[in-house]
Amino acid sequence: MVSIWRLGMGLSCVVSLVALTVATAVGAETKEEKIEIAMSAGPVQISENATIMDMDGTILREGSNGWTCMPSVSPELDVPMCNDATWMAIVEALGNKAPFETSTVGISYMLGGDVPTNNDDPFDTTQDPGEPWVTEGPHVMITVPNPEEALEGISNDPNVGGPYVMFKNTPYAHIMVPLGARE
């Protein structure tokens, strides 16, 4: 997905960039295309100096700021993201269905949006009627230490009209902060 995500962007710019992102990501094959797609996931102030890592772990470009941007998180998904070290640990834990715990706040940008996700179950891959699935548009994800306590009182309803908790009551619980419209 090719877009330049900045927190202060106007909604019309975000919608246009998301459309361009979806069209471009599908055919990305070169190293340069993958780097461009990965960089689109976060604000330029972060992505321009971030390490760019392909979904297989190959480093496409070394970075200097502690952030890692990826053109996607799996071969089936066209969802670039830029993660701090804490979020890279979550991505690894999710990929291995391993426990996760943190003592630091973690931040991830997905300015090109996301694929349909069960808001309650990170491992559910089949959309069944009545389940809380959401296809979030551009957003920031924030994880915190002691999520059961820290996220108390924040709704896990993705349609609440603001930030909400995804994967509540799991080790991967985090705050979703929508930044634009959903597709």
- pTM of this prediction? 0.82
Q: Read off the pLDDT of residues 138-167 as tens digits, 9 standing for 90 and up.
A: 999 999 999 999 999 999 999 999 999 999
**Per-residue model confidence (pLDDT) at position 163:** 97
Q: Is 150 left (phi over 0), alpha (psi -120 to 50) or beta?
A: alpha
Task: Using DSSP, state whether 23 is helix, strand or coil.
Answer: helix
**Per-residue model confidence (pLDDT) at position 76:** 76
- Residue 109: beta bridge partners? 82, 140
Residue-by-residue pLDDT tens, the chain, 183 positions: 332 222 233 322 232 333 334 334 445 579 999 999 999 999 999 999 999 999 889 999 999 999 999 999 777 778 999 999 999 999 999 999 999 999 999 999 999 999 999 999 999 999 999 999 999 999 999 999 999 999 999 999 999 999 999 999 999 999 999 999 997
What secondary structure letter does DSSP report for 68?
Answer: E
Long-range contacts of 58-66 (CB under 8 A, 24+ apart): 60/31, 60/34, 60/35, 61/35
**Per-residue model confidence (pLDDT) at position 99:** 95
Domain boundaries, the chain: 11-178
CA distance 59 to 52: 6
Residues 100/145, Cβ–Cβ less than 8 Å: no
Task: Using DSSP, state whether 92 is helix, strand or coil.
Answer: helix
**Per-residue model confidence (pLDDT) at position 11:** 26
